[in-house]
Amino acid sequence: MYLKDNVTITTAYIDDATYSEDEKYFINLEYYSNAYSNGIECFGARWDYYTDTSIPDKKEDGSYGDKYTYSSGVQFKNGYTYSKYADTNNWNYSYSAFKMNDCTFYNTSNGVSFDATNSLEDMNHWVYDIDGQLCLIEEKGNINEYKTLWVDRGTKYDTSMLLCDLYDVVKSLPDGEQVITIDLSRYYNVFLFDGKEFDKGTPATTENWVFVNVYIYKTSNGLVSAKQSMFKSYMGNPEWSLYGTASENYWQANVEYNLTLKDFTFTYENGGYYLKLQTSCIDYLKEFKNMRLLVNLDIDKIYLGADKLNIEGFSSNAFGGLKIDTINLTSDSPCTFKVFDKKLNIQHSDNITLEYLEVA
């Protein structure tokens, strides 16, 4: 793997990527290793780029914008084979790339929806941006120097070699988001833009322009749904799912919330002490919609203060206008519980007698 000298692998938090000279990642990788055996293995690589025929206008701050115009990528399915071997009859090394029939290519020009295709767009027009310096890549090497199984798809051997090397690195990384820096000049010629055209006479070699950051997301989970992938698709199928994504309609979904004794306070009225919800609780719950409020009270455990005064029941405005779905009252001994609101849905144990009072 041709990594930046003296730097093997850098791990960084994407939000704090101050090391990065180019915030737009030219190469993005994702790898679902399926180490947890809960899905399928999937490895994908995506290039984001301009083309030499569609360079955006330079902005006042000297940049070309925060996003690239195009994206192209390749996704390999579970069970692909990959190996490197040396041709002992020839001092040249040969790389065996990923199986052709186990991959799908993707292209997009809107960055949102990817179209599955049979090949990558022509790489020899791809342009990346480092701090306002545009760089055009050109595949180098020739078919006699490197042999790959990609030959029937065109001479994408440099990309094949790059993917093999990147896959080697990704397999060794821990889970999460990471960034590594690679030397592109091993795989591509890089030509610099001088403001008018790309100088194709001399490839750039300084690390300022040929060392690019590669964004990597790796997880030990397997892929279970197409929407997990950065292409929002799996093998060209955006609806793919290992466990199915069928949905079943419903009318309303309410989140249950249990109110217990700690949510109540007391008030003195009608010659006795009555329960009511605390104002802070009412104000808190009023902020939420589609709630199913439940009340569960053990009357035997409700008494007031050191004198253990009894609570008579619910006060006349016990719930502050909140809609309570069900109140569940329990008691081990016979008792009477007073309620002002007859519309409350109260379930109670047999030895509790409800007494309904009129509001004065």
Partner 1 sequence: MFDKFYSTIISVAIIVMIGLGIVAMIRSKNGKPYLMFVFGLVWFFVGLFNVFTGVNYYTTYSKVYGTLEQHDPYEDFNYFEYDLKDIAWYVDNNNYYYQTSYATSMEFDGTENEYTLLLNNKPCETSSTFGKLRGVQQIYFNDVDGTYKNTIGLDVNITFYASSISLKINTDATHESINLLNEYIKVNGFKLRIIDKVYSSFPLLSDSAG
Residues 109-148 that bind partner 1 (CB under 8 A): none
Q: Which of 257, 320, 335, 357 binds partner 1 (CB under 8 A)?
A: 257
Structure tokens, 203? 């490839």
Decide whether 96 or 310 has the Cβ nearer to partner 1. Answer: 310
Q: Is residue 337 within 8 Å of 354, Cβ to Cβ?
A: yes
Helix (H) or strand (E) holding 170: helix 157-172
Q: Does 326 bind partner 1 (CB under 8 A)?
A: no
Q: Is residue 205 within 8 Å of 188, Cβ to Cβ?
A: no
Minimum CB distance to partner 1, residue 44 (Å): 15
Decide whether 11 or 347 has the Cβ nearer to partner 1. Answer: 11
- Residue corresponding to tokens 């007698």: 353
Q: Does 14 bind partner 1 (CB under 8 A)?
A: yes
Q: Which of 284, 334, 336, 355 binds partner 1 (CB under 8 A)?
A: 284
Minimum CB distance to partner 1, residue 71 (Å): 18
Q: Does 343 bind partner 1 (CB under 8 A)?
A: no
Helix (H) or strand (E) holding 330: strand 324-330
Q: Does 243 bind partner 1 (CB under 8 A)?
A: yes
Residues 28-57 that bind partner 1 (CB under 8 A): 36, 38-39
Minimum CB distance to partner 1, residue 167 (Å): 20
Decide whether 10 or 63 has the Cβ nearer to partner 1. Answer: 10
Q: Are strands 70-76 and 27-32 parallel, antiparallel or unpaired?
A: unpaired
Minimum CB distance to partner 1, residue 13 (Å): 5
Q: Does 245 bind partner 1 (CB under 8 A)?
A: yes
Q: How far apart are CA 203 and CA 128, in angstroms?
A: 14
Residues 149-178 that bind partner 1 (CB under 8 A): 175-178
Q: Is residue 48 within 8 Å of 205, Cβ to Cβ?
A: no
Identity (one letter) of the amino acid at 238?
Answer: P
Phi and psi (nearest 5°) for 170? -60, -40
Minimum CB distance to partner 1, residue 108 (Å): 17
Residues 177-206 that bind partner 1 (CB under 8 A): 177-178
Q: Is residue 44 within 8 Å of 30, Cβ to Cβ?
A: yes
User: HSE of 324 in the Cβ direction (CA atoms, 13 Å)?
Assistant: 25
Q: How far apart are CA 298 and CA 278, in angstroms?
A: 18
How many residues bind partner 1 (CB under 8 A)? The answer is 60
Stretch that binds partner 1, among 64-72, 155-163, 274-282, 350-358 (CB under 8 A): 274-282
**Residues recorded for the chain:** 360
Minimum CB distance to partner 1, residue 104 (Å): 19
Residues 290-309 that bind partner 1 (CB under 8 A): 290-292, 296-298, 301-305, 308
Q: Does 252 bind partner 1 (CB under 8 A)?
A: yes
Question: What is the DSSP code (8-state) at residue 11?
Answer: -
Minimum CB distance to partner 1, residue 300 (Å): 9
- Distance in Å from the first CA to the final CA of the chain: 85
Q: How far apart are CA 307 and CA 102, in angstroms?
A: 78
Decide whether 208 or 260 has the Cβ nearer to partner 1. Answer: 260
Q: How far apart are CA 157 and CA 39, in angstroms?
A: 30
Minimum CB distance to partner 1, residue 12 (Å): 8
Q: Which sign, positive or negative, has the C-alpha torsion 94, 98, 104, 106?
A: negative
Closest CA to 87 of 145, 143, 1, 168: 145
Residue ranges binding partner 1 (CB under 8 A)? 11, 13-15, 36, 38-39, 175-178, 219, 221-222, 224-225, 227-228, 241, 243, 245-258, 260-266, 278, 280-281, 284, 287-288, 290-292, 296-298, 301-305, 308, 311
